[in-house]
Amino acid sequence: MQPFTQRVIEIVKGIPEGSVMTYGQIAALAGSPKGARQVVRLLHSLSLSHGLPWHRIINAKGEVAIQDGEGHNTQVYLLRKEGVEVDPEGRVDLSKYRYCPDGLEADFY
């Protein structure tokens, strides 16, 4: 397994319940600041086999990025179940729910 992939898995597993991170934030912390799309692909292919809390990852605008109905609804449901407020358009307040590990400020991302 590539170091970037391993680091993404570790970061995603470390997101606490009731918090979210962005694809770009994870990519930057894993060592590839422009690797947000790669994070998307890794989550798609590895979430089930590694038990990743994929639903805690949203886009940089604070939106649920999954567009299809079932996937979108599942992610919104799981976030709300953890206490994350998701508005009717699928947006989350990043200033309130964004997780910043290692004491790094959200503005870093």
Tokens 């290692």, located at residue: 102
Is 4 exposed, middle or buried, given 0-12, 13-18 or 19+ CB atoms closer than 10 A?
middle
pLDDT digits (tens, 9 = 90+) for 77-107: 999 999 999 999 999 999 999 999 875 554 5
pLDDT digits (tens, 9 = 90+) for 22-72: 999 999 999 999 999 999 999 999 999 999 999 999 999 999 998 888 999
The reported pLDDT for the residue numbered 102 is 72
The reported pLDDT for the residue numbered 104 is 58
Task: Please check whether residue 53 is in contact with residue 14, taking contact to mean a CB–CB distance below 8 angstroms.
Answer: no
With left for phi above 0 and alpha for psi between -120 and 50, is residue 16 left, alpha or beta? beta
DSSP single-letter state for residue 91: B
The reported pLDDT for the residue numbered 88 is 92
Residue 22, H or E segment: strand 21-22
- Domains belonging to the chain, first-starting first, are 3-97 (1.10.10.10)
